[in-house]
Every structure is written in C-alpha cells, then in structure tokens.
Amino acid sequence: MLQCVIVDDEPLAREILEEYLQKSGITGAAQFSNAREALAYLQAHEPDVLFLDIEMPEINGIDFLKSLTQPPVTVFTTAYRDYAFEGYELGVIDFLLKPISYPRFQHALEKVRDFLQLKEQNANLEQNLSEEKPDFIFVKSGVQRVRLAFDDISHIQGLKDYAIIHTAAGKVVIKGSVKAMLDIFPPARFLRVHKSFIVAIDKILRIERNRIIWGSYHIPIGRSYREEVMRVIER
C-alpha cells in the first residue's frame, strides 16, 4: 500500500484528498496544514507520494519542494493553473487543478503507481543480477511492457509529464518527467544535457557550438549543463 502525505492549508482540500485515497483503497495518509510540520515528518519518514498544495502561508509548495534533498514522488494540488510550468521543471509527476474530480485523481494515482512500479522493477533487476549491471530496462508504454536495450537508446526527450525514448527501432513514449528519468536510467551511461533532454554518453560523437549532432537530431546543450557535458566527454 502506498504511504502518502497530504500538505494543504485548507481543511476541506485535505478532507477531499483523504476521501479519494480511501476510495482508492489507501488509508492512513499523514496530513499537514503547513510546510514546516510536513518537513519535520519527511525528515523522519520516507513516504511514497506527496500531494502538495502550492499557495500556503509562510512557505509555499514550490519552495518547500525545492528544499527537499530527496523528495517523494510529488503531485501538485492547486487552484492556480499558472504554476504548471514550475511543477514540471521540478519534476512533479502530475498537476491537479482544484476543484479536483475523482476520475482525474485516479488518473494521477495511476501515474504514481506506474512510476513506482517501474522504479522497483529496475531496482530488483540490479539486485538480482548482483554485481553485474543490467544492460536493459523494461518500461510501460500504454498497455505494453517494452524491453529496451541501453545500447539502442540514443536520447530521451521530455515533453511535459511524458518522456519520449528514442531508440534504433523508433520512439517509445512513457509517463514521467525528465527528472524522473534520471532515477531510472543509469548515470554512468546517460547524461542530462538540457532541461528537456538526456543523452546516451556513448552516442555523443559530435558537438557543434551548443548542440550535439546525432544523425538527423540536433540536441541542444543547456547553458547550465555545458560544463558537466564537457567534463564528461573530456575525461
């Protein structure tokens, strides 16, 4: 069962989320009316998912999430549509606009479960293979489970709350932000080069100015990522 935390200064909003969780078979969610109390809880516990309001007194949800070194999978819950971009930049898995309907909540919960299952599946692969590093990954694309060999992946492109994995055989679309992909793909083989792109290190064969050239693809190198890209390719 998922371990959930709800942080919202509105009692009714917390009550609705609690009701939706119970309807989904999840009980015992920890609830907090402000970020300071939630921070103390998160420092002592490791929940699976955080339902986080944005507009709160003292510390807003965005600043609170930025302060967490290892945040849980996070779903923003807010009445303000304008915060969607900040949410995706912070790697939240979904953005629920109040008033939240139960079907929309279920959709977000499904995304959370899919992502956590994917992480667990690949953690088990690494554990079962002992010291041998797996050279493939299983991802869920629609209703399918697709096995992808790392050698076949050239790059990963983020598009809001989806990731497009480019392979030798074509494209595979899965749920999850670019930041979430960093938890799944091994850092020894994949490097983030832009806020919207991760590239397979062994595929970096040509760089022109601030672009990585791979076949017909011109992948931009973000200003804040350039130093790390150059360090990796020159080592």
| Domain 4-119 matches domain 135-234 at the CATH topology level | no
Query: Is the pLDDT confidence value at 33 over 80?
Result: yes
Comparing 113-122, 159-168, 175-184, which segment has the lowest mean pLDDT?
Answer: 113-122
Return the higher-pLDDT residue of 9 and 168: 9
Tell me the pLDDT band of 128, cut-offs 50, 70 and 90. very low
Please answer whether residues 51 and 5 qualify as being in contact, where contact means their C-beta atoms are separated by less than 8 angstroms.
Answer: yes
The string of pLDDT tens digits covering residues 61-101 is 999 999 998 889 999 998 887 776 676 667 788 889 999 99
Highest-pLDDT range among 27-41, 82-96, 145-159? 27-41
- Identify the CATH class of 135-234: mainly beta
Query: Is the pLDDT confidence value at 143 over 80?
Result: no
Please answer whether residues 161 and 93 qualify as being in contact, where contact means their C-beta atoms are separated by less than 8 angstroms.
Answer: yes
Please answer whether residues 108 and 87 qualify as being in contact, where contact means their C-beta atoms are separated by less than 8 angstroms.
Answer: no
What does the DSSP assignment read for the chain?
---EEEE-S-HHHHHHHHHHHHHTT----EEESSHHHHHHHHHH---SEEEEESS-SSS-HHHHHHH-SSPPEEEEEES-GGGHHHHHHTT-SEEEESSPPHHHHHHHHHHHHHHHHHHHHHHHHHHHTTTSPPSEEEEEETTEEEEEEGGGEEEEEEETTEEEEEETTEEEEEES-HHHHTTTS-TTTEEEEETTEEEEGGG---EETTEEEETTEEEE--TTTHHHHHHHHH-
Nearest to 161 by CA among 187, 196, 132, 127: 196
Return the higher-pLDDT residue of 184 and 211: 211
CATH topology of domain 4-119: Rossmann fold (3.40.50)
Segments making up each domain of the chain, as ranges: 4-119, 135-234
Query: Is the pLDDT confidence value at 126 over 90?
Result: no
Tell me the pLDDT band of 127, cut-offs 50, 70 and 90. very low
Query: Is the pLDDT confidence value at 141 over 70?
Result: no
Give the per-residue pLDDT at 216. 80
Q: Mean pLDDT over residues 194-213, rounded?
A: 90
Q: Mean pLDDT over residues 168-177, rounded?
A: 82
Q: Mean pLDDT over residues 118-147, rounded?
A: 62
pTM: 0.59
Average pLDDT, the chain: 86
Cα–Cα distance measured from residue 113 to residue 160, given in angstroms and rounded to the nearest whole number: 18
Tell me the pLDDT band of 153, cut-offs 50, 70 and 90. very high
Percent of the chain with pLDDT over 70: 88
